[in-house]
């Protein structure tokens, strides 16, 4: 990625994160007032799994540059899977308690670990 694109993409990503974080923060504070519901932990697991998938895809695109991003993808997938499994095991039976987010985070974590593992094997083959 060139420096010019990086200088354009960094502020855009920062603004996007801030725009998306405000409604999520409002939901978390509202959920904390009525006992939580368990959605916060599954949301964290979901974000970890999604970040792992994104890093894995980026590592696949630049597989000749070393396995650093690929290992980060595998690690984020592993952590997201553990947190998602904890959120799923801790959730009570019913709706609105974060079970759906925990299940999706487990799927994303598996995808992140698979894509990251593929990128690790490609980076070792090309090195």
pLDDT for the residue 106: 92
Alpha carbons 117 and 71: distance in angstroms, whole number:
8
Alpha carbons 37 and 91: distance in angstroms, whole number:
8
Alpha carbons 2 and 51: distance in angstroms, whole number:
22
pLDDT for the residue 86: 87
With beta carbons less than 8 A apart as the criterion, state whether 52 and 80 touch.
yes
Euclidean distance between the first and the last CA atom of the chain, given in angstroms as a whole number: 20
Token pair, residue 39, equals 């959605």
pLDDT for the residue 62: 81
| Angle (deg, nearest 10), helices 39-61 and 3-33 | 170
pLDDT for the residue 10: 63
pLDDT for the residue 123: 78
pLDDT < 50 positions in the chain: 31-32
Alpha carbons 60 and 63: distance in angstroms, whole number:
5
pLDDT for the residue 109: 92
pLDDT for the residue 112: 92
């Amino acid at each position: 990625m060139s420096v010019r694109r990086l200088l354009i993409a960094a502020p855009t990503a920062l603004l996007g994160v801030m725009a998306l974080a405000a409604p999520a923060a409002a939901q978390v504070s509202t959920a904390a007032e009525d006992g939580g519901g368990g959605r916060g932990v599954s949301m964290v697991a979901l974000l970890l799994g999604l970040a792992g998938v994104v890093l894995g895809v980026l590592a696949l695109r630049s597989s000749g540059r070393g396995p650093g991003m690929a290992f980060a993808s595998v690690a984020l997938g592993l952590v997201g899977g553990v947190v998602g499994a904890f959120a799923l095991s801790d959730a009570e039976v019913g709706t609105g308690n974060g079970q759906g987010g925990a299940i999706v985070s487990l799927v994303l974590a598996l995808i992140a670990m698979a894509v990251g593992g593929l990128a690790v094997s490609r980076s070792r083959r090309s090195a």
